[in-house]
Structures are given as C-alpha cells and as structure tokens.
Amino acid sequence: MARDDLLIIGAGPAGLSLSMAYDGSSRILERAGEVGGLCRSVSFGGAVFDLGGHSFHSPHPEVMDLVEDLMAGHWSGQRRDARVHFQGELIDYPFQNSIDQIADPIVAADCRRGAPTSTAAADAATNLEDWIQGRFGEGVARHFMLPYNRKLWARDLRRVSCEWVSERIAGAEVQAVKTPNGAVVPKRQPLRSTSEIGYPAEGGFGGIFKTMTSRCGPISFDQDVTSIDLNARSVRTAGGATWNWGRLVSTMPLPLLLSAIDGCPASLLAAADRLETVSMKIVMLCVAGPVADAPQRVYVASPDMPAHKIAFNHTSSPNLRSRPVHAIMAEVAYSPDKPAPADDELIATSVDWLADAGLISSTAAVVEARVVDLVHGYPVYTHERPAIVAAARAWLEPRGVHTIGRFGAWAYVNSDACIHEGLKLAARLKAPWGAEV
C-alpha cells in the first residue's frame, strides 16, 4: 500500500464521512459486521430500533446538504415533540420553560421563586452541579435538573465540567463563536420542542450510514484492531490480518487506541485510563398497536423509572407510524458509581412503569423485549479530559495518526458533528504529505 493511502478504524459517521471526502484511496476496518457504530439500527418483531433515540439536525449547512443529497428524497422531516414526565403528568420539554404546566402549585411556586435574576453564578461555575443551581435556581435544580442529570451521568455531578452545556441544555445557548482567525462559526443549539428534525423515510436511522457506503472506499468487516506498529506503519487485527498504512485515522475509544499502539508512553496510557464514560443499557420493547399520539421523547427524573430517556422510535417517520407494532427504547445509564439492574429486572420495571404512566395500553402489549449493552455510551466531560485528549493528539499526529469521533475525541457529539469532523479532517489530509501536522 502506498505511503499516502489512508486506513480508517471504524465505520461510524466520522469514519464513513472521512472516507467519502478523502482524495485518494482509503480503506475502513470495522470491528462489527455492519456500518453505523452507535448509529446503527436493529429490527425485530416488525419494529425498528436505534441505539438510543436518534434524529438528524445540524448547524452545519454542508452536513445537512450532504445527508439530504445522500438520501435522495428518501427523507422525512417533522417538528420535534419532546415531553418531561413529572409527578404523573407529561409537560413540555424543557422543564424549566414549562413551570406553568406543573400541576402542584407548591412545586411550581418553588421553581419560580428560586429562579436566578442573572447568570453570574452559572458563569462562575466550574462543575455541572453548581452550574445547574446557578443557572436555574434551587427549585428547578432540586425538582428536576439535578435528579435527571444524576441519572444521565451516573456519577457525582461535581466531577463533571460544564464547558459543553451551551450545546446540550436549553437555556444555555450560544448562537455562534469566533475562531482565532475571526471567522464566525455557528454553534449547535440544544433541541427544543420547536426544533425541526429529519429521519430516513423508510427503515431506521442507520440507513443514513448504509447509504454512505456507496461513496466510500472499501470496508473490511469483522476486523477488531489489536495492535498498531507505528514504525512499520501497520495494523494487526484479531483474525491475524495485517494492514499497512500511510496515514491512520482512528475512531476507536481513545484509551483502546493508545493501548493497542506498541511502545505508547506509559504516562499517556495512565492518563487515558482516567477518561470516564457513561455506559448504557438500551431496553428495546416491541409493542403491539399503533403509536397514536405518543411523543418522540420523554425525559424522566423519577427514580421509579430506571431510564432517564424514553424514545418512541415509530414516531420518527410516516412509514414507521403505519406499522402494526412500534418500538420503544428506554435508555438506562450506569457506571461503577451507579450499577445497572439485571436485564430481566430492567425490562420488567420499564414495562410496568410505561403501563402505569399510560404510555402503553398494558403490560401485555409488549410482545418482545431485548436489552443492548453499550459499554461506551456517553463520554464524560471531567475536568482533566481536555488536557488528556490534547496530549494524546500531540503525540499521535506527528506520527501520522489522527483520532476523531465521539470516543476518538472523547466529545459528547452527535452524528452530524462526527460527519463534520470527518469532512474537516479530509480537507486537512488533502494537503501535501506532512503539511497537515
């Protein structure tokens, strides 16, 4: 293989978009037997499930144009419908903007009374717990935002930094930022009930990435990377195959990438081991009957429901809505600080809760259930994360290795941001050899 050829580890959104945009020959090594990574879809019982709740939206026009061109009219758009389940009722998302819908007047008054008059406390916060209290006040924090985020992050929120909140939490929006060269770059906005979202017109969210493959270089499946030799510029996989490379781009979780590299400095390995992740169990329920008026997403802070987020996937397109069964996914976060219940218990508790909440007609409506365990669900923004990622990249890139994607960059990003990252790196790599580093 020529020196300027590109080897990509991982056929998720970042790896696929990089291969699509790269000028030159490339090959993708994918550990699984299909593309999509965390964005792949699963079908059983006539229902279509994603790994968590997925919909497509982006502040990057070039990414939107790319995906709409890829789907060539096989695309469904709609306004997002998200709710919060609170004290037995569904109110509009986000919670902090829907206090008037809270049935309990004492709780509603508590949330209003505690609202801050400025953002000074939030601006000064260095961790997520202090930021939530400073931005929304004690009432909103105590009744919803703190218990919800403790379920989601599965750890002490004081260990979570808050530089990411403007892109994820409604009420913290920043419309755009200036780069060092003066360019104005749009920022991702937190999703609201008024957000416009897209989804494949047929099948699941993973269809976007299956379609991408027609414009990519070759993909070799069932290739689990076990060792990387930087001197020989080669990769070995669990099956014994060896792949040579001129440039290497990895979307593997960063600690796994570094541990696979022969001779990686012990200090880098130790630092990468301190990166934290939220693991996820996705309870997938195939439910008989039409979707009716189910919202697309329901967020739950109550400890009675193990999941923090429930996605009704068959509200994603008219085609899915028309099926005689529909898919419900309950996303349950876990970590060493917050272990997950056994799968059977998760299924039973989730089904009972959904029936009690009136979100399914009865427990008997569930005709099949499965649980998918994702060890790497969400990267955690700990205080030392930026320095660890920067040090790893500073060591890797002069050696011809780049690391991108949700867990390659250890960044809480969606599929559109991963596509954007792949496109940007492809543009960098179009420079003469060595110029990009």
Please measure the distance between the N-terminal and C-terminal CA atoms of the chain and give it in whole angstroms: 21
Q: What percent of the chain has pLDDT over 90?
A: 86
* 114 and 258 share one domain: no
Q: Which of 3-7, 144-148, 207-211, 350-354 has the lowest mean pLDDT?
A: 3-7
Q: Is residue 25 part of a domain?
A: yes
The tens digit of pLDDT for each residue in 366-423 reads 999 999 999 999 999 999 999 999 999 999 999 999 999 999 999 999 999 999 999 9
Q: Residue 290's pLDDT is what?
A: 73
Residue given tokens 């909103």 in the structure block: 140
179 and 259, same domain (yes or no) = no
Is 113 a domain residue? yes
pLDDT category at 1 given cuts 50, 70, 90 is very low
Helix or strand holding residue 324 (H, E): none
Tell me if 208 is assigned to some domain.
no
Q: Domain end: 166, 186, 206, which one?
A: 186
pTM metric for this prediction: 0.92
* 119, 167: one domain: yes
Q: Which residues pair with 374 in a beta bridge?
A: 280
Domain match, 114 and 236 both: no
Token reading at 190: 């937190």
pLDDT in tens, 114-129: 889 889 999 999 999 9
In tens, the pLDDT along 135-153 reads 999 999 999 999 999 999 9
Residue 229 sits in the same domain as residue 182: no
| Average pLDDT, rounded, for the chain | 92
pLDDT band at 291 (very low <50, low <70, confident <90, very high): low
259 with 392, same domain? yes
Q: Locate tokens 């195939």: which residue?
A: 286
Whether residue 225 sits in one domain with residue 182? no
Does residue 432 carry a pLDDT above 90?
Answer: no
DSSP H helices, 159-236, are: 165-168, 207-212
Same structural domain for residues 179 and 226? no
Contact 106, 87 (CB under 8 A): no
**pLDDT, position 214:** 94
Give the pLDDT of residue 176: 47
Question: CB within 8 A of 269, min separation 6: which ones?
Answer: 255, 258, 259
Q: Mean pLDDT across the stretch 262-286?
A: 98
User: What 3-state class would DSSP assign to 207?
Assistant: helix
Cα–Cα distance for residue pair 211/68, rounded to 1 Å = 11
Assigned domain for 417 exists: yes
Mean pLDDT, residues 15-20: 97
For residue 235, the domain's CATH number is 3.50.50.60
Q: Which of 49, 380, 75, 15 is nearest to 219 (CA)?
A: 15
Classify residue 251: in a domain, yes or no.
Answer: yes
> How would you class 175 by CB atoms within 10 Å of its CB: exposed for 0-12, middle for 13-18, buried for 19 or more?
exposed
Q: Are both 172 and 228 inside the same structural domain?
A: no
In a domain, 366, yes or no: no
Q: Are residues 231 and 151 in the same domain?
A: no
Average pLDDT, stretch 219-239? Answer: 97
How far is residue 382 from each of residues 138, 145, 157, 275, 277, measured CA to CA in Å?
A: 23, 19, 10, 8, 10
| pLDDT computed for residue 434 by the predictor | 47
Distance, in Å, from the CA atom of 47 to the CA atom of 70, rounded to the nearest integer, reads 24
Q: Is 231 within a domain? A: yes
Residue 289's pLDDT is what? 85
Assess whether pLDDT exceeds 50 at residue 4: no
Helices (DSSP H) in 273-342: which residue ranges? 318-321
pLDDT of residue 352: 97
* pLDDT at residue 174 is higher than 70: no
Is 256 inside a domain boundary? yes
Domain that holds residue 117: 94-186
Residue carrying structure tokens 């940007």: 424
Higher model confidence: residue 168 or residue 405? 405
The band of 190, judged by pLDDT with boundaries at 50, 70 and 90, is low
The burial class, CB within 10 Å (0-12 / 13-18 / 19+), for 1 is middle
pLDDT digit string, tens, across residues 233-256: 999 999 999 999 999 999 999 999
* pLDDT confidence tier of residue 292, bands split at 50, 70 and 90: low
Q: Do 346 and 236 contact (CB within 8 A), yes or no?
A: no
Last residue of a domain, one of 132, 159, 186: 186
- End-of-domain residue from the set 162, 186, 210: 186
Residue 332 has pLDDT above 50, yes or no: yes
pLDDT at 437: 41
C-beta atoms surrounding 134 within 10 Å: 19
Quote the pLDDT of residue 430: 81
Q: Is the pLDDT of residue 320 over 80?
A: yes
Quick check: 7 and 34 in contact, CB under 8 A?
no
Q: Are residues 406 and 265 in the same domain?
A: yes
User: Helix (H) and strand (E) counts for the chain?
Assistant: 14, 21
Nearest CA-CA partner of 89 in 330, 298, 366, 296? 298
Full DSSP string of 98-132: -GGG-S-HHHHHHHHHT--SSSHHHHH--SHHHHH
Tally of structural domains, the chain:
2
Radius of gyration of the chain (CA): 22
